[in-house]
Chain A
Amino acid sequence: MELTPVQVKVPSAIVTAHARPPALQVDGLVIGLVGRRAPMPVVTGLDLTLARQEVLGLVGESGSGKTLTSLAIARLLDGRSVQVLAGTVTLFGRDLLTLSEAQMRSVRGKEIGMIFQDPMTSLDPAFTIGYQLTSVLRRHFDLSRQAARRRAVELLGMVGIGDPRRRVDQYPHQISGGMRQRVMIALAISCEPKVLIADEPTTALDATTQAQILELIKDLAQTLHMSTIITTHDLGVVAEVCDTVAVMYAGQIVEQATTEQLFYHPQHPYTERLLLALPRVGVEQEMLGIPGAPPRAGQFPEGCRFAPRCGHAVEPDCVAHVVPLEHLAPGRTARCVRRPELTLRGVRT
């Protein structure tokens, strides 16, 4: 087994995106809150394609269902309160939702690596960083204690932690927030997974640390040939690292495109408003908020879910019927009935 990263320049992901079968495909995913009452869908019929070695941004406000989606892919939902109600999740041709729990365990960590939002609470306070790394490594590889430890030190070095030999024996509370997120990344890539899912990896971090962490994820995705999903509420993060973007609103994908297309030629009013809401240093452009708040699960409007907050919404077109996702080109979709007649503003107009 070769564990050292190989320095190979990978051709741009977009070029190869549709030439080969995708790394991960999500079809008609429905996630619902379950409990005493009837299941209440939160994510309703989500389709998502992650091409090999691309970095996909899954963008949405809090409550849009993006975190639930990423947890559902790794089958990490707390089954007592949230469950996948319908749909398939296919990883390199294998349907994950039909695997047994034991089979799924060997997928987690080995084939799908996960990075979670809050580095303060996502590392176990009672165990050393080294233990947390080696227990995952030894779960998936037949490694001796020493070999696993050597690999853990190596991994810490790879994610840019100085003095890894000392750090490996420290506890999470002894290191800074930025460094903890690096440990999280080391944990996620420890078994060189083919798919990396990062759920809001930089939200809890400072601006300068955020830039470092994004840079690191981007580099690692490239050197380890990983296909990556990054969920975020911040399109700024997307501009930084993503090849393609899927915008989620109220449990649905409303637009999917390459990053450039989405930023320069958005096809959904929600995307336009998200772009206008971005603060940009040194650019004289008013920051505009999106009025109102997203609907809660169980109270999704009948027609277009964004209509109550949308400046372009008209009756009855936008409110009467369910709006289908329109396929404009390969990898390019939008969910807006008025799309053909609207000219939406991108960041360069």
Chain B
Amino acid sequence: MTETMPLLTVRNLNKTFPVRRSALGRATEVVHAVNDVSLEIEPGSTLGIVGESGSGKSTLGRVCLRMIEADDGEIRFADANLRQLSAAQLRSTRAHMTTIFQDPYSALDPRWTVGQIIEEPLRINGSHSRAERRTIVADILPRVGLSADAVHRIPRSFSGGQRQRIVIARALVTRPRLVFCDEPVSSLDVSTRAQVLGLLRELQSEFQLAYLFVSHDLGVVERMSDRIAVMYLGSIVEIGAAETVAQRYRHPYTAALVSASPAADPVAQRARHRIVLNGDPPSPIDIPKGCPFHPRCALAIARCATDKPELVMTPNGHGVACHVTNADRTLTGTTLFDSMVERRLSFAAERTTS
């Protein structure tokens, strides 16, 4: 029983931010950053979360690690009820769940040496002597691909990719069980990106890490994840095994994401049709009623504008929140794609004839 217990379990999580306050300090407008989200991460596995900026994916990660407080919902980390922990208990739990940040330039204090940076979590933790800390730092440097003499240098003398290795070393120095990777490669060049992703995967198997991996790039997420959750305006619209979501996707938004990611093959690229979404994602301040995606969806029916679709799970763990595809199970992967392209083309034809 305990062996199959997930490392992180999240139930019905909600998080809103006030944007504007009235004179009395009451929030008059709120951003629904995370909207009734539930998910699980098994020990040693990766859950990828993919979505556009403003989808609430980074906020979800922060809330899960209690870096910011959730409005309501339940978070269980290992056998602890995370939201009930006292400040002191939480501090000691911090060593087991760490973060790798997006921007390796601002994630490192420019005035500190790499040694000071990497040992900071140990110092906060207070569990090791000065000499022990030094040994641990010296041990971890080669594992993330940094040379031993990096200890005395300051971040300014490292490239973006190398800085990200420092950030990774800092995240792993306390031997965590869960690491929240918040867009860890999106500010890096493509060539460095693959390098850092490779490192993350090797470290995962070496240290038995579980990753909560957030990115806006479906290609990267697919590469890294065992399971993928697709987020749109604070809600999970599709969740399932990585391969399933990337190839046998059943949500129109996932189809659009797949179509937007470059094929890296000019002929295939030119041959394929594109689902170009209308306009920008709506603001998370006034999320559309019903299905949040319906104003941009080619398949939307009348019901989509009024009822918010439930995330319906299949027995093999593939969940989709869409009225249309949940009613018509044949719409999956390429068939869904084709029907969306068809609908768009016929729309366009109607528009030109009328």
Contact = CB atoms under 8 A, between A and B. Distances in A.
Are A and B in contact, CB atoms below 8 Å, in the complex?
A: yes
Identify whether the interface residues of B are mostly helix, strand, loop, or mixed.
Answer: helix
Interface of A: 61-62, 162, 176-179, 206-212, 215, 233-240, 259-260, 263, 273-282, 287-291, 293, 347-348
Given A208-B256, A208-B257, A211-B276, A290 B191 contact: yes
Determine the interface band of chain B, counting residues with CB < 8 A from chain A.
Answer: 35 or more
A293 B147 CA distance: 14
A289 B265 contact: no
Contact of B52 (A207, A237, A281): A207
A207 B264 contact: no
Contacts of B191: 61, 233, 273-274, 277, 289-290
A276 B274 CA distance: 24
A62 B161 CA distance: 11
A136 to B, nearest CB: 25
B159 interface: yes
Contacts of B265: 239, 263, 280, 347-348
Interface in B126-180: 159-162
A287 B197 contact: yes
Nearest to A60: B189
Given A162-B279, A209-B280, A281-B222, A289 B197 contact: yes
30 contacts: A61-B189, A61-B191, A62-B160, A178-B280, A206-B53, A207-B257, A208-B260, A211-B260, A215-B274, A233-B190, A235-B264, A239-B269, A260-B267, A274-B190, A279-B194, A279-B220, A279-B222, A280-B261, A280-B263, A281-B219, A281-B261, A281-B263, A282-B222, A282-B246, A282-B258, A287-B193, A287-B223, A289-B192, A289-B197, A347-B265
Interface string B219-244: 11011000000000000000000000
B42 interface: no
Nearest to A59: B190
A239 B271 CA distance: 12
Contact of B198 (A206, A207, A287): A287
B247 interface: yes
B36 to A, nearest CB: 23
Given A259-B266, A263-B265, A281-B219, A207 B260 contact: yes
B126 to A, nearest CB: 36
B205 interface: no
Contacts of A236: 190, 261-264
Contacts of A233: 189-191
A209 B216 CA distance: 11
Nearest to B261: A281
B159 A293 contact: yes
Nearest to A278: B264
A176 B53 CA distance: 11
Nearest to A214: B262
B195 interface: yes
Contacts of B223: 279, 287
A281 B274 contact: no
Nearest to B219: A279
B277 interface: yes
A282 B261 CA distance: 10
Contacts of B194: 276-279, 287-290
Nearest to B218: A281
Contacts of B119: none
B266 A207 contact: no
A146 B189 CA distance: 44
Contacts of B262: 234, 236-237, 239-240, 278, 280
Closest 6 interchain pairs by CB? A289-B195, A236-B262, A279-B219, A289-B194, A277-B194, A211-B260
B291 interface: no
A278 B191 CA distance: 8
Contacts of B321: none
B217 interface: yes
Contact of B246 (A281, A288, A293): A281
Contacts of A277: 190-191, 193-195
Interface centre among A179, A209, A279, A291 (most CB of B within 10 A): A279
Contacts of B280: 176, 178-179, 209
B214 interface: no
A238 B264 CA distance: 8
B75 interface: no
Contact of A211 (B53, B160, B246, B274): B274
Interface centre among A208, A275, A277 (most CB of B within 10 A): A208
Nearest to B247: A282
Contacts of B95: none
A99 to B, nearest CB: 34
Nearest to A291: B195
B264 A275 contact: yes
Contacts of B189: 61-62, 233
A176 B54 CA distance: 11
B324 to A, nearest CB: 20
A291 B256 CA distance: 33
B196 interface: yes
A206 B279 CA distance: 13
B276 A212 contact: yes
B59 to A, nearest CB: 16
A208 B258 contact: no
A284 to B, nearest CB: 9
Contacts of B263: 236, 239, 280-281
